[in-house]
Structure 1
Amino acid sequence: MSHSIDHPTTDNALLLIVDVQGKLARLMHESDAMIRQQQILIEGCRLLDVPVIWAEQLPDKLGPTVPELTDRLEGLTPSAKSSFGCWGDADLREAIHASGRDRILLAGIEAHVCVWQTAAALRREDFQVHLVTDAVSSRSAHNRDIGIRRMAAVGAHLSCVEMVLFELMIDANHPRFREVTGLLR
């Protein structure tokens, strides 16, 4: 797999959404803004044919993914997990491998727990991680920021929703340009 700091593309990228569930999602620092960015990210990736994998931590206990996101995940099935990191779950590992993609666009909660452990394991496995920083959070801003700093320290590339979507499109002549930029207004 490539180690260069090249961009995610519609051919090599995969969106991984981690645990944006139930009451917990509403307790995140700047929760509404985070969920809004996650909505845009999911819609943009689906318009651009970037596959989406979606994880839930013990959904029987924490509840389902918030409806704002499930509305945009139609036709996809979440993977339930008990391991904090997605890589600790065999079904999620298999889905990531099966995608054939090595650049993981990472979003979800909580930045310092499940998102961090996912990023660390993906980096160990030589995946390129593009952490979509405006689409991750924790209950406290401090924990979110520490999580982001730890992920950067292990080689995750820090990104944001708008940055990722423009990287995926490359050119204003992209056939989905108007639809994708419409999401960003």
Structure 2
Amino acid sequence: MLAKGTTGLIVVDIQGKLARLVHDSESFISHCEKLIKAAQTLALPIIYLEQNPDKLGSTIEEVHSLLAPLEAIEKFTFNACEATEFRAAVQAESQVTTWLVCGIEAHICVYQTAIGLLDRGYDVHLVSDCVSSRTQTNKQLGITALMNKGVAITGLEMCLYELVKDCRAPEFRSILGLIR
């Protein structure tokens, strides 16, 4: 089960034109916005990534504005765990044993980063309605491959209710407002 005190969020490459070209982009972006707002409400650590931003563009404005004043970690490897700055950011969150992962593309950077985290001993939960790829087939391929490798598959509502745990929790009303 997810726990607020030991869970963080990694936002992978929601940037440039690609963010608008992925399968069901409007829903994907909307779900990611809700996940980020909920993570902030729950005071979860958040790390966000940009793949080669000079070529692919920066994080889309609706996501970037939510994440400010955090700065994106620039990477060039598909597996963010191969980037020194990302490894340092993950290690700096010493209380985090579980990472929620969202972003694009499910079968490339999300897949490789999630496997990299898993290989480093973290519990990894892929938020399935907060990932996408250019095609539905590749999104499903990424999700299935991660599930087969031992990554937990969750959804936006499922992970948020798991983190809140109790309808009397002070964050419950805010979280409920995001997902209704």
TM range (shorter): over 0.9
C-alpha displacement of 1:67: 0.9
Partner AA of 2:110 in structure 1: V
2:123 corresponds to 1:128: yes
Match of 2:170 in 1: 175
2:81 corresponds to 1:87: yes
The 5 Å alignment of 1:132-151 reads 132-151=127-146
Match of 2:19 in 1: 25
Partner AA of 2:134 in structure 1: R
Partner AA of 2:166 in structure 1: D
Match of 2:68 in 1: 74
| 1:56 aligned residue (22, 25, 50) | 50
Match of 1:157 in 2: 152
Unaligned runs of 5+ in 1: 1-6
Match of 1:110 in 2: 105
Give the whole-Å Cα distance in 2 for the aligned partners of 1:8 and 1:176.
15
Show CA shifts across 1:112-148 (max 9, x none). 0000001111111111110000000100100110110
Report how many aligned residue pairs link the two structures.
Answer: 179
Unaligned runs of 5+ in 2: none
| 1:40 aligned residue (15, 29, 34) | 34
TM-score by length of 2: 0.98
Give the SS at the match of 1:105.
strand
2:26 corresponds to 1:15: no
Give the whole-Å Cα distance in 2 for the aligned partners of 1:178 and 1:124.
36
C-alpha displacement of 1:102: 1.3
Give the SS at the match of 1:172.
coil
Partner AA of 2:26 in structure 1: D
Give the SS at the match of 1:17.
strand
Partner AA of 1:113 in structure 2: I
C-alpha displacement of 1:68: 1.2
Give the whole-Å Cα distance in 1 for the aligned partners of 2:172 and 2:140.
32
Show CA shifts across 1:23-72 (max 9, x none). 01111000110000000000000001001100000111111101111121
Match of 1:184 in 2: 179
Partner AA of 1:184 in structure 2: I
Give the whole-Å Cα distance in 1 for the aligned partners of 2:148 and 2:120.
16
